[in-house]
Structure formats: structure tokens, C-alpha cells
């Protein structure tokens, strides 16, 4: 197969011509041969087949190979939960036999189809090839051009960052050798290339081999090789590739704002008093926290329930659950409960009634087992296990934890943290990376795992802060470095065995708490007891907790952008710097939204961090020093610092410190401008709880910075409106400047000149 030309050479020639300009191929009628004598009938995996091509959008082409049935009709692509329901256009090409290559136009690209084997070539008018696809006549395996630049995607887990050079079985769960480092696998059959193309293999299920020059997708079984349904996406700008994927599998849900706050997980619980005392300590110490998560008994000696998968409260820890939940709610904590043992054949939906809802593995019946507990005021769920579920059953489960709570509380956005899922999970819930070890190697790996998960259409992701399985490597230093990384993940949550060491103050008590290492082998071990008298951890945790909450206006706006466009919060540098080869290959740092660059420190004893700044001017977040990009730099660090940089032109919203995300305050919003380029902020705000934003109850304030004029202008984006309070105090300052200007914004255009 020919090498692909560079992204710059090919994509600069692409236009946005719609499907209406396409020249269709003559369609063969059922039972007829197309073309002159000698045309070869298309057969795949021993079955007669019809090839079809459908223009979904100017960037997306749907390719199908459908079995021809005895009556001359074709077996249609079955509906499933992966693709969002929509009216698909009619194919522009349907071919059952070919003698000479057939050609049609897709916008400003040319697509040719040939046989023996069935093959597709996509290129421009100058003959530059963007993608070539061949489908094996014997087993339906798909060979495609892998290209010369990095390839990302394939979901969560497995070797990182560039996916080339490795074979991926695309099996979900934790039963793989690399879990302690790379985490659990949640496969998504989506490959996205730095050369400007992406492939989504909707059907059938299969594995990927990216070891050789060409990539290969092989169906798991010969019997399931057909129908084949693949989407090819070509776009000039990398974010457009992710937006097209979201149009196919669904745009991410908009989570409640509290889910972006800090979440503290608990394991073995000694008593009612301990449960309430942990919550009280957060508030007394003024350590911001939004959610308390309780593990189930079965994974620990004394969790929230009476046994593995039970929905009955553990009397020792929760003797009066309704009163305890009220007490925790009064302290402004959300309550999330761990659940396991989903039915293996889970199917259906929460709204099923009658005979459909009677089987034990129907979603309506299974959700009903949650209701007594949920109605006590539980705010969210942590669906664990499910490794053996099929991709369809995984999505049924993901959807159940969205639809069930939404039906029960129609004015409240649901929350569920999942261990398993599939393409489409982003419509319903969050994902975390599973039972990783508390090691430096695991921390390093999680940075690129988060990048690939985000590039696979799953923006709401995180890890067990500190790692799950305690090892001798777990020290106050490792916990602090992990905590800093998690402060810049969508999910900011601490969890793990020896769980008291996952509390911000847990490293200076002189006590391990419940060790919970029984039955674990390999690296499992307790840290050095001298680490239990470390006074440095809590102040550093406080620093990053407060920073996370101060950056919530920026983060929530990025989350709303993910909901609207499919562009993730954690962004590979490639998304915004696709023509910078060094940025494209960078998998150990990332952009946090559009304007902030995060370089986690993942080396023990580090006193500096080498990182890459893409071209342009940057500002050190901590010192506000200006740094020219387009090069690697060495940034000195102490234990309390990870490198953070802000792009020149950024208009960064910074709120006051809150103890929980929805805490009301009269303190002003600060907007800090980082000069050196023009910039824009679109600050998104709604109530953070309900679905009222769907009815227009939201505010979008646009702030435009003109660097030449040293001028910042404010105004509402069309279609949005001021929310209470209708007059907002905003302090505007310029980075590295001591002057601050106060503006009271009420929805009309305001201009500030410096």
C-alpha cells in the first residue's frame, strides 16, 4: 500500500463541499450484475456481498459490506446503542460486482473502488493518497494505511501513547497483564491519525494489529465478519475529527458541577462515628470537598452494605442511613455508593414495563433493586466490575445509571463512575482507570492513558489518586505528585487500599489505618512507617484543592465545550498544534482546556521537569514569567510545584476558594489576561445541577482581548442571558502587573483599556 502524504500536503486542499455535489456511481439492482461482461461478484467470508458508500457529512464517509440474502435483498446494519439514532442519507454507491475500478467524488476528494480484493482508495485530485482500505475475501479482515505519523485512540488501557507497533485484542476489563501500570481496558474501536484521518469500526467486533507498516482489523469470528460497517473521517483540523466522532456516537453529557469538585473515597468503615467524623474533618480543616464515596462490603471487611452486591446498609457503619445522609447533605456533601454484580445478560432499558421488565437481567428490573437506597438521598453511583459483559450489555448498564436517576429525579443531572463501557459511554457517565499500583511507573503511564481515553471520545476520566494497590513506593512524595496530576484531571478523586493514606491529612497521623492488603501479591506492601509523620503533604494537598476550586469557572466552561463539540478537557498538544512534530509526539504533558499546559512531575526526587512548549509565547502560571515556545525547557520544581503554563492571549477566569462547588459567595470573579497575543474567553455558566440549560437558562459571557490596543471587552453571547445575580463584580488584571480594574457586568457591552 502506498505511503500517505503529509497532513499539510493533502488537507490544505480539502474543502467543505457537501454531499449534494457528489457524483454517484451507477447502482446495481438486486440480482443484477453491474458493468460489462467479466465483472467479478463481491464475496467476503464465503458470502455474496454488496459494498455501499454513504456520505454522512463533508468529513465522514460510511462504508458498508452487507451480505446479499437469497431473495436478493441485503442484511441491514442492526441498530444498537453505539450510534445515536439519526436519519442516514441514501448511499451514493452500491456495488455488487466490479470489472473496472469505480470512482465517485466525496467533496474535493476522489474515492475509487476495486475488487479482488475489495479495496477502496481515497485521495485528492493530484493523486495524493489519504487512505487505502482492503477487505479480505477470506475472512473479512480490513487492512488500512497506518501512515507515518502517530496514531491515537482505541479507548482506555494498553501500551501508550502512540498506538503504532502493538496488537490490541480489544477485550475489556482488568484481566490483562498490564493493569498494574496501564490500568483496565475499555476498548473503543476508533483510530485517529495525526495525518488528519480517523477510522471507526462500528461492526463487527474485532481486534487491531498495528505492528506492521499497514494496520489490520480482524473480526473476532468468521461467522460475524459481515455485515461490516466502518466510518472514515477526513478533516483539516484535528478537533473536527473528534466532533465528527461525537456526531456518530453521541456528544458527552453535561455532568453536575459538583462532580468536578474533589471526591473522597472510603473503604473499611469502623463505625457511624467514623463516617461522620471524616466529613466533619474536611469542613473543620477547610479542605474543599464535594463528594464522599463508600465502597461496598465484599471488597473490604466493612463497607456501606451487608455483602457483595447487596442493597442493604451495613448496620455497623450506617445504622440509620436516612439520618446520616441528611447529616452529610447538611454539610454539603454528595453521597456516592459502590455497586457490583450486574446481570451478565443485562438488556433493555429502565422504562421497560410488563413482560419486557420481568426477566432478572432486564434493566428496569435491575434498576428497581436500587430504588429504596436511591430514594434515601443517594446522589450518584459507582458501578464496578462488569468485565465479562458484552459491549452491548456495558452500554445498557451505562445508560441505566443515567436514565434511572433522571426518571426518578428529572430536574437533577445524574452521576455514575464506571469501570466498563464502550463507544457511546460519554453520553451517560464517567470512567476511571481501574486497579493500578501505587508506583511511579503507573503514575507516568496514567498521563498518556488519560490522553488516549480523551482522544477516544471519553472526556470525563480519572484515576485512583495515589494508585489502588499500596506498595513500598507509596510515599508522601508519590501521593503529592499524583494529587497534583489529579487536580488537572476531569475526575479528581482519591481511592485505594490502606485508604486512610488517601486522605489529604492521612500522612501525618502516625497510623496506617486499615491496611487491606490481604490476598494481594506482586508489589503489594505497606509504605515505610516513617512516612506516617510527613507534615508536608496536607499543606500541598490544600494548595491544589483550592486551586482546583478557583479554576472551576475555567474548567466548567471547558466541560461545556466538550458537551457541545466533543472536544475533551484533557487535550493532546496535537489537537491545537498539528503541524508541530514535537508537539504531536508529546504524550507526557497536555493542554487543560485550550489555554493551560500541564506537565505532571512523575519522577521520584525530581528537582526539575523537562517539558516542551509549543510555538508562541507562554506565561509561567506560578511566576508569570514570559517564556518563548517552540522548544524544550527545564523548569525547576520543588515538591509543592508542578509546571503550569498559560498561553499568551489567554483570558483566564479565576473564582474564589470554595469549600464545595455550589457554595454561594459575594467575592468577585477574577479575570486574568496573559498578554502577548489576541485572545478570547467564553465563560459558560448555569445552575450546575438541573437540565434547565436545555431551555436556555444559561449564561455565556464573551471576553475579547486586543493585545495591540490593550483592551478587554465583555458582552453576552447571542442566545444566552444573565443569571442571578444579574450584576457581577469582576476584577480584571494583567499577568505580571499589579494593577486591577473592577467592572460590574450586567449583560451590556463593557470595555476596559489598560
- What is residue 698's three-state secondary structure? coil
Q: CB–CB of 133/142 below 8 Å? A: yes
Domain boundaries, the chain: 7-249, 252-432, 570-646, 666-753
pLDDT (0 to 100) of residue 37: 64
pLDDT (0 to 100) of residue 78: 87
Q: CB–CB of 49/226 below 8 Å? A: yes
Measured distance CA(37)–CA(51) in Å, rounded: 19
DSSP string, 630-677: SEEEEEE--TT---EEEETT-EEEE----SSTT----PPEEEEE--SS
pLDDT (0 to 100) of residue 249: 98
pLDDT (0 to 100) of residue 289: 98
Question: How many Cα atoms are found within 13 Å in the side-chain-facing hemisphere of 284?
Answer: 7
Mean pLDDT by 10 residues, the chain (754 residues): 42 37 37 56 93 96 96 92 95 92 90 92 89 96 96 95 96 86 96 97 97 96 95 97 98 98 98 98 98 96 96 98 98 98 96 96 98 98 95 97 98 97 98 96 98 98 97 97 98 97 97 89 90 97 98 98 98 97 97 98 98 98 98 98 98 98 96 98 97 96 97 94 92 92 92 93
Does an H or E element contain 567, and which? none
pLDDT (0 to 100) of residue 5: 41
Q: CB–CB of 561/690 below 8 Å? A: no
Report the CATH architecture of 666-753.
Sandwich (2.60)
Do you find a cis peptide bond into 44, omega within 30 degrees of 0? no
Q: CB–CB of 171/187 below 8 Å? A: yes
Q: For residue range 436-448, list pLDDT tens digits in order.
A: 999 999 999 999 9
Does an H or E element contain 408, and which? helix 391-408
**Domain 7-249 belongs to what topology?**
Immunoglobulin-like (2.60.40)
pLDDT (0 to 100) of residue 739: 84
CATH number for the domain running over 252-432: 3.20.20.80
Q: What is the pTM of this model?
A: 0.94
DSSP string, 69-135: PTTS-BPPPPP-SSSPP--PPPPSEEESEESS-EEEEETTEEEEEETTTEEEEEE-TT--EEEEEEE
The residues near 422 (Cβ < 8 Å, ≥ 6 apart) are: 82, 172, 186, 187, 188, 391, 392, 394, 395, 398
Measured distance CA(92)–CA(89) in Å, rounded: 9
Q: From residue 47, how far is each of 221, 249, 470 by CA, in Å?
A: 14, 29, 53
pLDDT (0 to 100) of residue 8: 43
Q: What is the DSSP letter of 213?
A: S
| The domain made up of 570-646 is a member of CATH 2.60.40.1180 | yes
Measured distance CA(496)–CA(492) in Å, rounded: 14
The residues near 29 (Cβ < 8 Å, ≥ 6 apart) are: none
Do you find a cis peptide bond into 261, omega within 30 degrees of 0? no
* Domain 7-249 identical in fold to domain 570-646: yes
pLDDT (0 to 100) of residue 518: 82
Amino acid at each position: 500500500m502506498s505511503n500517505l502524504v503529509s497532513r499539510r500536503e493533502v488537507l490544505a486542499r480539502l474543502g467543505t463541499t457537501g454531499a449534494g455535489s457528489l457524483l454517484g456511481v451507477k447502482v446495481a439492482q438486486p440480482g443484477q450484475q453491474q458493468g460489462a461482461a467479466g465483472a467479478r461478484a463481491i464475496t467476503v467470508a464465503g458470502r455474496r456481498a454488496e459494498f455501499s458508500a454513504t456520505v454522512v457529512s463533508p468529513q465522514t464517509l460510511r462504508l458498508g459490506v452487507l451480505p446479499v440474502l437469497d431473495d436478493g435483498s441485503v442484511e441491514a446494519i442492526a441498530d444498537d446503542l453505539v450510534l445515536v439514532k439519526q436519519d442516514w442519507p441514501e448511499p451514493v454507491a452500491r456495488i455488487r460486482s466490479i470489472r473496472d475500478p469505480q470512482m465517485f467524488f466525496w467533496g474535493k476528494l476522489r474515492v475509487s473502488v476495486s475488487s479482488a480484493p475489495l479495496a477502496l482508495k481515497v485521495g485528492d485530485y493530484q493523486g495524493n493518497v489519504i487512505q487505502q482500505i482492503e477487505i479480505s475475501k477470506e475472512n473479512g479482515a480490513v487492512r488500512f494505511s497506518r501512515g507515518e505519523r502517530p496514531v491515537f485512540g482505541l479507548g482506555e488501557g494498553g501500551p501508550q501513547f502512540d498506538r503504532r507497533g502493538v496488537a490490541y485484542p480489544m477485550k475489556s476489563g482488568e484481566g490483562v497483564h498490564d493493569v498494574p501500570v496501564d490500568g483496565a481496558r475499555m476498548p473503543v474501536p476508533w483510530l485517529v491519525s495525526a495525518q488528519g484521518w480517523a477510522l471507526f469500526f462500528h461492526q463487527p467486533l474485532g481486534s487491531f494489529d498495528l505492528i506492521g507498516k499497514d494496520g489490520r482489523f480482524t473480526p473476532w469470528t468468521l461467522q460475524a465478519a459481515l455485515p461490516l460497517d466502518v466510518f472514515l473521517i477526513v478533516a483539516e483540523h484535528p478537533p473536527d475529527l473528534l466532533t465528527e466522532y461525537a456526531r456518530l456516537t453521541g456528544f458527552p453529557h453535561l455532568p453536575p458541577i459538583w462532580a468536578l469538585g474533589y471526591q473522597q473515597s472510603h473503604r473499611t468503615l469502623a463505625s457511624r462515628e467514623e463516617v461522620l467524623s471524616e466529613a466533619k474533618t474536611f469542613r473543620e480543616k477547610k479542605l474543599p470537598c464535594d463528594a464522599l464515596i463508600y465502597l461496598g462490603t465484599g471488597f473490604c471487611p466493612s463497607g456501606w452494605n451487608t455483602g457483595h452486591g447487596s442493597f442493604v446498609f451495613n448496620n455497623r457503619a450506617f445504622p440509620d442511613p436516612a439520618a446520616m445522609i441528611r447529616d452529610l447533605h447538611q454539610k454539603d456533601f454528595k453521597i456516592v455508593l459502590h455497586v457490583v454484580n450486574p446481570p451478565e445478560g443485562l438488556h433493555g432499558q429502565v422504562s421497560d414495563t410488563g413482560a419486557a421488565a420481568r426477566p432478572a437481567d432486564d434493566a428496569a428490573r435491575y434498576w428497581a433493586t436500587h430504588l429504596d437506597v436511591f430514594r434515601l438521598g443517594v446522589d450518584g453511583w459507582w458501578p464496578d466490575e462488569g468485565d465479562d459483559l458484552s459491549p452491548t450489555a456495558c452500554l445498557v448498564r451505562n445508560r441505566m445509571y443515567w436514565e434511572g436517576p433522571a426518571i426518578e429525579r428529572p430536574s437533577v443531572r445524574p452521576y455514575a463512575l464506571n469501570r466498563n463501557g464502550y463507544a457511546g459511554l460519554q453520553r451517560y457517565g464517567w470512567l476511571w482507570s481501574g486497579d493500578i499500583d501505587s508506583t511511579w511507573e503507573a503514575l507516568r503511564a496514567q498521563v498518556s492513558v488519560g490522553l488516549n481515553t480523551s482522544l477516544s471520545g471519553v472526556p470525563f476520566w480519572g484515576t485512583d489518586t495515589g494508585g489502588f494497590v499500596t506498595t513500598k513506593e507509596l510515599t508522601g512524595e508519590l501521593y503529592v505528585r499524583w494529587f497534583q496530576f489529579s487536580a488537572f484531571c476531569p475526575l479528581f478523586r482519591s481511592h485505594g487500599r490502606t485508604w486512610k493514606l488517601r486522605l489529604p491529612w492521612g500522612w501525618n497521623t502516625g497510623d496506617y489505618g486499615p491496611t487491606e492488603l490481604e490476598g494481594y501479591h506482586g508489589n503489594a506492601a505497606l509504605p515505610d512507617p516513617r512516612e506516617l509523620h510527613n507534615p508536608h503533604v496536607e499543606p500541598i494537598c490544600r494548595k491544589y484543592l483550592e486551586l482546583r476550586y478557583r479554576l472551576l469557572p475555567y474548567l466548567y466552561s471547558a466541560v461545556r465545550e466538550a458537551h457541545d463539540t466533543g472536544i475533551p478537557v484533557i487535550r493532546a498538544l496535537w489537537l491545537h498544534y498539528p503541524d508541530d512534530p514535537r508537539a504531536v509526539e508529546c504524550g507526557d504533558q497536555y493542554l487543560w482546556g485550550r489555554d493551560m499546559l500541564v506537565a505532571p512531575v512523575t519522577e521520584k526526587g525530581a528537582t526539575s521537569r523537562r517539558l516542551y512548549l509549543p510555538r508562541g509565547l507562554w506565561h509561567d502560571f506560578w511566576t508569570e514569567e514570559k517564556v518563548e515556545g517552540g522548544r524544550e525547557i527545564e523548569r525547576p520544581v520543588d515538591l509543592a510545584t508542578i509546571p503550569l503554563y498559560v498561553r499568551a492571549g489567554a483570558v483566564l477566569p479565576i473564582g474564589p476558594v470554595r469549600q464545595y462547588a455550589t457554595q454561594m459567595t459575594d467575592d468577585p470573579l477574577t479575570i486574568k489576561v496573559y498578554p502577548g497575543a489576541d485572545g478570547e474567553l467564553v465563560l459558560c455558566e448555569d445552575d450546575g445541577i438541573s437540565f434547565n440549560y436545555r431551555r436556555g437558562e444559561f449564561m455565556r459571557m464573551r471576553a475579547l482581548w486586543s493585545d495591540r490596543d490593550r483592551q478587554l471587552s465583555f458582552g453576552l453571547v447571542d442566545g444566552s442571558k444573565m443569571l442571578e445575580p444579574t450584576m457581577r463584580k469582576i476584577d480584571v488584571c494583567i499577568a505580571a502587573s499589579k494593577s486591577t480594574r473592577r467592572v460590574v457586568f450586567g449583560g451590556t457591552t463593557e470595555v476596559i483599556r489598560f
